[in-house]
Amino acid sequence: MVDTSANFSGSVPEYYDSCLGPAWFDAFAVDLAQRLPAKPPGDVLEIACGTGLLTRRVRERLDPTVRLVATDLSKAMLDYARGKLSDSKGIEWREADAVNLPFGDCEFGAVVCAFGVMFVPDKKAVFREACRVLEEGGILLFNVWDSIDENPQKCDSEFPTRCTTPRCCSGFSRRRILET
Ligand SMILES: C[S@@+](CC[C@H](N)C(=O)[O-])C[C@H]1O[C@@H](n2cnc3c(N)ncnc32)[C@H](O)[C@@H]1O
């Protein structure tokens, strides 16, 4: 089995946050966070929070009364995020595997995940777990990379075909995801 957490340790958190984050990921964190209502139907769970790029944006977006729990498989990423956002109030940090979430059924009103699903070998298990912890009618928001053909801004002649583009999926109710 692939040890994903080993790929997100050592110097990776700092490199990810200072180089890849601003260059690639933060704009999509802003996009994903703004799709979330300030007052979702319940508490909010973030999966695969990494160095906290989306965590920061979601915390800014949410009403201060809404509970936010940020989780990641990698202790190194989580420790980096916790240190970086130590001044931000109202974030609970917790190590957690996306396929085995340490939370009860229907505990959250929203689950968010930025560029995390693609790292988990069993993707169905991620969505099964997300649906299990979501209350009926809860919100699931996630983004992953997709093919350039799916990008409405693509320009056939100028983009190399191997480029990818992010896709954001949102607004599924718990029941609809379970039926998919
Ligand atoms: C590309 S980073 C994304 C981090 C952050 N969400 C962002 O948008 O910047 C992917 C993250 O997924 C985490 N990850 C990989 N497998 C995981 C799993 N099974 N459960 C939870 N997190 C996982 C990694 O530790 C890493 O922090």
pLDDT of residue 179: 37
Residue with tokens 């093919």: 147
Q: How far apart are CA 76 and CA 97, in angstroms?
A: 14
Cβ partners under 8 Å of residue 62, min gap 6? 36, 38, 39, 40, 44, 68, 90
CATH for 29: 3.40.50.150
> Does residue 162 sit within a domain?
no
The closest alpha carbon to 85, from 51, 45, 136, 112, belongs to: 51
Pocket test for ligand 1, best of 3, 4, 80 (most atoms within 8 A of CB): 4
- 109 Cβ below 6 A of ligand 1: no
- 77 Cβ below 6 A of ligand 1: yes
> Does residue 121 sit within a domain?
yes
pLDDT of residue 39: 97
The residue nearest atom 25 of ligand 1, judged by CA position, is 74
> Contact at 8 Å (CB) between 161 and 148?
yes
> Does residue 110 sit within a domain?
yes
pLDDT of residue 173: 39
Domain that holds residue 113: 12-145
The residue nearest atom 4 of ligand 1, judged by CA position, is 50
φ/ψ bin of 13: left (φ > 0), alpha (ψ from -120 to 50), beta (otherwise): alpha
DSSP of 103-147, one letter per residue? Answer: S-TT-EEEEEEES-GGG-S-HHHHHHHHHHHEEEEEEEEEEEEEE
- 8 Cβ below 6 A of ligand 1: yes
pLDDT in tens, the chain (180 residues): 455 555 788 888 998 899 888 888 999 999 999 999 999 999 999 999 999 999 999 999 999 999 999 999 999 999 999 999 999 999 999 999 999 999 999 999 999 999 999 999 999 999 999 999 999 999 999 999 888 777 777 766 554 444 456 665 544 433 334 433
> Does residue 152 sit within a domain?
no
> Does residue 163 sit within a domain?
no
How many domains is the chain partitioned into structurally?
1
> Does residue 107 sit within a domain?
yes
State the distance from the centre of ligand 1 to the C-alpha of 113, rounded, in angstroms: 8
> Does residue 87 sit within a domain?
yes
Decide: helix, strand or coil at residue 43.
coil
Pocket test for ligand 1, best of 31, 72, 100 (most atoms within 8 A of CB): 72
C-alpha dist (Å) from residue 106 to 45, 71, 170: 11, 17, 18
> Does residue 156 sit within a domain?
no
